[in-house]
Amino acid sequence: MDLIEVLPTLHMLRFPVGAAYLWRNGDELTLIDAGTAGAAAEIEEALDGELRRIVLTHWHEDHTGSAALLAARYGAEVVAHRLEAPVIRGEAVGAPPVLEEFEIPIRAGVPALPPAPPCRVDREVEDGDVLEFGGGAVVVAVPGHTDGSIAVHLPGPGVLFTGDAVANVGRTMLGVFNTDRTRAVESLHRLAALDADTAVFGHGDPVVHGATAALRAAAAATR
């Protein structure tokens, strides 16, 4: 795992597949996504305050794999959209992606990931709910990658966590491996309408300045 400072209050935890993020409010930490199963020890090395909550942008195993262990160990509140919660808890099976032709070889090149252990969800959220970090973190429903995918927008500091709704691998673009491409494109356009200077992604490099312009360019190129 690589620990990368994006902002003084925001660090990226980059894994071989995907990324998670730590947001700091004083001594209180919020973890956005939790890497794969087996990543908990590396994540713990980055914790230098109280882990108050874990926000899961969707149920995929590269985002939820270490959530159960960390939540149990630190007593952190686990937050996810109500449509993702049954899958994260192990009560339901998530829908597989509908692959575009160009995604088939990309998918074949992704290494098999360990399944995510079931994890409790303490708070089920909806679009527009506000979480108590970053001066008020607004939940933004971005269905399409999965039914209950969320992004998190911090209007005050101008930061956007996109989850896998958007990627930034070489360029800012629609995320891949979606269950419903039409809804995913609509979600990209919705995120592009937000005001954000910094955007961070489930996959790819952060955009530290000019995130809104990058998102709008991606949306304009995607139909």
173-185, pLDDT tens digit by residue? 999 999 999 999 9
54-71, pLDDT tens digit by residue? 999 999 999 999 999 999
Residues 153-164, mean pLDDT to the nearest whole number: 98
Better-predicted residue by pLDDT, 45 or 108:
45
Using CA atoms, how far residue 198 sits from 33, 41, 126, 167, 202, in Å, is 18, 28, 23, 14, 14
Residues 84-89, mean pLDDT to the nearest whole number: 98
Q: Which two tokens stand for residue 132?
A: 């108590």
Residues 188-205, mean pLDDT to the nearest whole number: 98
Does residue 162 register a pLDDT over 90?
Answer: yes
Question: Residue 93: what pLDDT?
Answer: 96
Question: Residue 106: what pLDDT?
Answer: 86
- pTM given for the model: 0.96
Question: Residue 72: what pLDDT?
Answer: 97
Print burial letters for 123-143: b (CB count within 10 Å at least 16), e (below 16): ebbeeebebebbeebbbbbbb
